[in-house]
Structure 1
């Protein structure tokens, strides 16, 4: 037997193919009973997917109110400013106030349909450049395929909420990817982005712990700082400075979620001059202080 090594990776065709590298990273997936969901002006650096089994939930973006129902899922891209509420128990008009508990197989869901939201949610990232699409709230019809996947996921979450099996992970990823295919093409214009902007974004992502100036970044692609700043704003619909701040705060959120680093440690590791500067930037991006975010009192 002869081992064949790297002959066009086993592809017999000379026709080159180009694939898009999607780096789906799961952050959390939960099935909850929520009796209070008064959350105002939330902004987070990850995608959110929501589904409510019963009526009464609302999402608000700018001047648009989305009434949530069991026939639709709602997808919210990163850095979208939005609010939520449970209309049957609406108490607060500002701040972030959530009360609920994990739904297990010990509960009969029918007993709670009139007094709580039966709420499924996923937080995830897609990687560069897809975590930088235009903000908004996307309402997607629940197809038969998505419904079958959702039935499986919610059933399993009621049994196991911590250590997920390989099959669950595959089906969860398949559910997210199938939901994303129902989003219109206008959201994905980032895949046709100017290569110079992509090059800088990739560099910034790898070196997000450093102080990244416009002059340093524009020099990577041999452009004048002012010219590159204009190009970046045209391509990304955000200034380079704000983009870098957003990515640093996104990294901070990831560190808070998946490490035991203190606020001071995270601030220092991301190149901020001190904790107070970091806290001001963090709150300007997310609407929360680092301490509030770190406590995890949000959905």
Structure 2
């Protein structure tokens, strides 16, 4: 058998094809019984997918209240400010209050009429897809999504830590299938100006440095003021706010997956000191770094 060695990049055709890279990274996937879900003014730097098996959950974004239905899933993009509550046990009008436990294969779900049966998945998609417009997206379950939900929730009752390859593939397939049901207006990011994308890639690689408008504008040979206007037009956010958001997103990742202290993370991300870092963190997330580090929210 003759092996062909001159086919470049694995494509035997001279007709060029353009694909979009999606860097899906699952942060957590859990199936819980919630007795209390009073969470107000939450903002997080990752996507959230929610499904409730029973009624009683509500999501609030601005003046819109979403009464969560079992035949729908709800997707919340990064940096969306929202609140949640379980109407059968709604106690608190501010702050973040969650009480619940993991569902196992020994749990009889029918016995928990006063609890919310709740699946949540947190994930990132990578740049530029973690910078879409904020909001709450309601998606009706298809037969495919229902089948995947049944598989995922049953497996989560059995295993909660070290997942096999099959589970990981089906979980990722479930997330991607859900995303295909989002309207095209959300994905404006894939068509943004190439100059802005080049700067965004630079920011991601150099997120630990102090990044100024003049420095970033020089990368693409633009005047700082002109680039700032272009960036705001393309990304619907100021360059300064974007950089702050990406630094805080990285900080959240470090809090989740390392044992670094607040001081160490503030230094790693190029902040002048812990107090400056804490002010920026709270302005973006709505919580102090210490509170975020010590608590986990569904």
TM-score (norm: length of structure 2): 0.98
2: distance between equivalents of 1:6 and 1:31? 50
Matched residue SS, 1:281: helix
Matched residue SS, 1:129: coil
Q: Are the counterparts in 2 of residues 43 and 78 from structure 1 also a CA contact under 8 Å? A: yes
Tell me, yes or no, if structure 1 residue 98 matches structure 2 residue 98.
yes
Correspondence for 1:291: 290
Alpha-carbon distance, 1:12 to partner: 2.7
**What are the residue-to-residue correspondences of 1:126-141 with 2, within 5 Å?**
126-141=125-140
**What are the residue-to-residue correspondences of 1:1-299 with 2, within 5 Å?**
1-112=1-112, 114-299=113-298
Alpha-carbon distance, 1:13 to partner: 1.8
Alpha-carbon distance, 1:228 to partner: 0.5
Cα separation, partners in 2 of 1:9 and 1:108, compared to 1, 3 Å: same
1: distance between equivalents of 2:117 and 2:22? 30
Alpha-carbon distance, 1:298 to partner: 1.2
Question: Unaligned regions of 5+ residues in structure 2, if any?
Answer: none
Alpha-carbon distance, 1:286 to partner: 0.6
Question: Unaligned regions of 5+ residues in structure 1, if any?
Answer: none
Cα separation, partners in 2 of 1:49 and 1:6, compared to 1, 3 Å: farther
May I ask how many residue pairs the two structures share in their alignment?
298
- CA-to-partner distance for each residue in 1:245-298, whole Å, 9 max, x for gaps? 000000000001111111111110000011111011111101111111111331
RMSD over equivalenced CA pairs, Å: 0.9
- CA-to-partner distance for each residue in 1:157-188, whole Å, 9 max, x for gaps? 00000000000000000000000000000000
Alpha-carbon distance, 1:4 to partner: 3.2
Alpha-carbon distance, 1:3 to partner: 4.0
Alpha-carbon distance, 1:2 to partner: 4.4
